[in-house]
Homo-oligomer: A and B are copies of this chain.
Amino acid sequence: MDFKLKSYKKDFDYSYTFGAFPTMELINFKPEAVVKVLVSTNYDKKSSEDSIYNVCNGKNIEVEKNDKLFNKLSPKENCYVIGVFKKFKSHINKSKSHVVLVDPSNMGNVGTIIRTMIGFGINNLAVIGHGADLFNPKVVRASMGAIFKLNFTHYDCFEDYIKENSEHDIYPFMLKGAVTLDSLEIKKDKSFSIVFGNEAAGLSDNFLEYGTSVLIPHQKTIDSLNLTIAAGIAIYEFSLKSK
């Protein structure tokens, strides 16, 4: 694979991991996707055993030290390692429980939700709509590389998702939810889908028709919970309820 690396765009067939930790996750969990690893001259080689050099040598992965290229690609924050990887195909496992995100707009939030999902053992994500690009480096970085352990599928619309996953119990999270999260009981022998709307608008009222809509009650003193917080609480609670 030989090409000129540029600042990320959605239509590229490759993307980047910024930072040593997500790059290590890439190498360990998707080694077949790695194109090469870039390091800046500021990268501290002293870390010995676990250093990117040793790991890449062991797996025949090219490491390039190129400060000019590095500075062109790297975000402003402290970042001394960049992984370059080919985008890969993924598909959710229909027999497992899912998180469903409808038209998410903030890629950092998507990455944080992925990190939380993997942390609580829900490893399958459906994304409704094509606005969100899961390979966006902001997703990869906020996920801390958890994206490389995730199964995911994009669907054009929620109806398409439902058709393919008709055995799932559906739980849309909404301010108008019919049941509060703390009083909700779920069937432990069935896979579930917990569904969240967009950061600004939430889920539209027609989601009240699907499954059991759920409310996380909060004080009237705030307009709504932050999406990642609501999703984090829901993912944690569902991981406990399904045990």
Give every chain B residue within 8 A of A236 (Cβ-Cβ).
216, 233
Q: How far is the CB of A44 from chain B (nearest CB, A)?
A: 16
Q: Select one of B115, B182, B221 contacting A146, CB under 8 A.
A: B221
Question: How many residues of A sit at the interface, in one of the four size bands?
Answer: 20 to 34
Q: How far is the CA of A115 from the CA of B218 in the complex (A)?
A: 11
- In chain A, positions 140-156 with a C-beta closer than 8 Å to chain B are 144, 146, 149
The quantity of this chain's copies bound in the complex is 2
Q: How far is the CB of A19 from chain B (nearest CB, A)?
A: 12
Q: Select one of B121, B144, B232 contacting A233, CB under 8 A.
A: B232
Cβ-defined contact, B182 with A219, below 8 A: no
With CB as the reference atom, state the residue of chain B lying closest to A112: B226
Cβ-defined contact, B232 with A119, below 8 A: no
The CB with the most chain B CB atoms within 10 A, among A118, A146, A229, is that of A229
Q: Select one of B119, B216, B218, B240 contacting A225, CB under 8 A.
A: B119
Give every chain B residue within 8 A of A146 (Cβ-Cβ).
221-222
Closest 8 CB pairs of A and B: A229-B232, A119-B218, A119-B222, A233-B236, A232-B232, A118-B221, A116-B229, A121-B219
